[in-house]
């Protein structure tokens, strides 16, 4: 990748036009909207709101159906890497989509979303460790090529260790994206005394400044516990400073969500130039000079 920055799945990636805009921008890669077997309208509006500190969303996987994104992958020119996000409503759906992707034999990389917090009545799969292990066993059988997973945030060192041990068992699993939004937060408008979004009584996934420390902790712990795998950082990146922090915590590349939604694709060139300026100020020539080299105060 010419740049370590690309879009978070869900932002600028639902339609061909949006994907083309990311492909034509300074982003180093692009990823499609998490797809399901059939097209989905998603949850009722309003379902996304930005605030001075970030965003809340309960989109409910609005997408054009997997065939639309696989068609896009078929005609893409691969001037930069293309990731395809998959988020079936069941394990069987994921297996069906991955089987179809395997048959196409394209150079794109699937990111299996195990962490959508916005489907009423459906808990985030990756909080169920046994179900995650079962899913990865079956995925590895139908898809014997490199793939990744998108994880929800974890909040306890025991859970980091348990999930990392589980993920380390799967050789085909080459990357994990940390983190999806912090699920089921609630933002309240003081004047109207109302929730900001309609679905799920106002509960939704948080992004932006609200989640940066949680994202950094997940990137740091998973990259430390899974040295053979790549960690893609996602959460709270709005300038070169947060991108630098994610890389310092061990991220191979980083995804931009809320900031991209608010600023558009110009965010990629701006954040990249801020990152380069920061590296130059610190005397770093390349990302490997500082990637994963976070200092802690006990050493």
Among positions 29, 31, 116, 265, the unique one binding ligand SIN when judged by CB under 6 A: 116
Smallest separation (angstroms) from ligand SIN to the CB of 284: 33
Cβ of residue 119: shortest distance to ligand SIN, in angstroms? 7
- What is the C-alpha to C-alpha distance for residues 146 and 220, in angstroms, rounded to an integer? 22
Instruction: Name the nearest CA neighbour of 53 among 264, 262, 275, 269.
Output: 262
Tokens standing for residue 187: 């933002």
Residues 7, 180, 214, 258: which binds ligand SIN (CB under 6 A)?
Answer: 180
Number of other CB atoms surrounding residue 291 within 10 Å = 18
Sign of the alpha-carbon torsion through 168, 173, 174, 175: negative
Give the pair of three-digit tokens for residue 83: 């990731």
**By C-beta, is 113 or 223 nearer to ligand SIN?**
113
* Shortest separation between residue 293's beta carbon and ligand SIN, angstroms: 30
Which residues 198-227 are close enough to bind ligand SIN by CB under 6 A? 205
For residues 96 to 115, the per-residue mask of contacts with ligand SIN, x marking binding by CB under 6 A and - elsewhere, is -----------------x-x
Taking alpha carbons only, the member of 165, 103, 160, 107 closest to residue 136 is 165
Strands (E), the chain: 5-7, 30-31, 48-51, 54-57, 82-86, 109-113, 147-151, 173-178, 182-186, 188-189, 194-195, 203-207, 230-234, 253-256
Strand partners for 86: 35, 112
Task: Please state the closest distance from residue 31 (CB atom) to ligand SIN, in A.
Answer: 12
Of the candidates 13, 108, 116, 178, the residue annotated as catalytic is 116
Of 69 and 284, CB closest to ligand SIN:
69
Determine whether 35 is an active site residue: no
CB of 150 to ligand SIN, least distance (A): 7
Q: Which is nearer to ligand SIN, 98 or 151 (CB)?
A: 151
CB 223 within 8 A of CB 151: no
User: Nearer Cβ to ligand SIN, position 66 or 284?
Assistant: 66
User: Could you give the angle at the alpha carbon of 218 between the alpha carbons of 167 and 254, nearest 5°?
Assistant: 95
Under a CB-based contact definition with an 8 Å cutoff, are residues 118 and 67 in contact? no
CA atoms of 108 and 110, how far apart (whole Å)? 7
Q: What is the DSSP letter of 27?
A: -
Please report how close the Cβ of residue 57 comes to ligand SIN at its closest, in angstroms: 6
What's the rounded Cα separation, in Å, for the pair 272 and 99? Answer: 36
Report the residue from 25, 55, 118, 258 that binds ligand SIN according to the rule CB under 6 A.
118
Q: Does 132 bind ligand SIN (CB under 6 A)?
A: no
Task: Identify which of residues 136 and 234 has a Cβ nearer to ligand SIN in the complex.
Answer: 234
Q: Hey, which residues between 36 and 95 contact ligand SIN (CB under 6 A)? A: 59-61
Distance, CA of 235 to CA of 59 (rounded, Å): 17
Total residues binding ligand SIN (CB under 6 A):
13
Nearer to ligand SIN, 61 or 73 (CB): 61
- Return the residue of 25, 32, 177, 181 that touches ligand SIN, per CB under 6 A: 181
Q: Which residues are catalytic?
A: 116
Residues that bind ligand SIN (CB under 6 A): 10, 34, 59-61, 113, 115-118, 180-181, 205
């Amino acid at each position: 990748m010419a740049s370590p920055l690309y879009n978070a799945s869900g932002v600028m990636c639902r339609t061909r036009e949006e994907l083309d805009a990311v492909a034509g921008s300074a982003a180093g890669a692009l990823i499609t909207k998490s797809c399901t077997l059939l097209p989905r309208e998603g949850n009722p509006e309003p379902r996304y709101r930005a605030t001075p500190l970030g965003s809340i969303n309960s989109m409910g996987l609005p997408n054009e159906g997997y065939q639309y994104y696989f068609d896009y992958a078929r005609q893409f020119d691969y001037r930069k890497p293309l990731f395809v996000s998959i988020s079936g409503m069941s394990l069987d759906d994921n297996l069906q989509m991955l089987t179809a992707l395997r048959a196409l034999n394209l150079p794109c990389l699937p990111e299996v979303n195990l962490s959508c917090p916005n489907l009423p009545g459906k808990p985030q799969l990756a909080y169920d460790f046994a179900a995650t292990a079962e899913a990865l066993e079956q995925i590895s059988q139908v898809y014997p090529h490199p793939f990744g997973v998108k994880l929800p945030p974890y909040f306890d060192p025991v859970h980091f260790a348990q999930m990392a041990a589980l993920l380390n068992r799967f050789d085909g699993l080459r990357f994990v994206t940390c983190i999806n939004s912090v699920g089921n937060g609630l933002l309240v408008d003081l004047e109207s005394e109302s929730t900001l979004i309609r679905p799920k009584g106002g509960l939704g996934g948080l992004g932006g400044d609200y989640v940066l420390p949680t994202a950094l902790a997940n990137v740091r712990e998973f990259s430390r516990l899974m040295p053979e795998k790549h960690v893609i950082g996602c959460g709270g990146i709005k300038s070169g400073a947060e991108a630098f922090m994610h890389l310092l915590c061990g991220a191979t590349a980083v995804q931009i969500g809320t900031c991209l939604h608010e600023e558009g694709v110009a965010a990629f060139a701006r954040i990249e130039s801020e990152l380069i300026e920061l590296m130059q100020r610190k005397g770093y020539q390349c990302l490997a000079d500082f990637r994963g080299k976070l200092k802690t105060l006990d050493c």
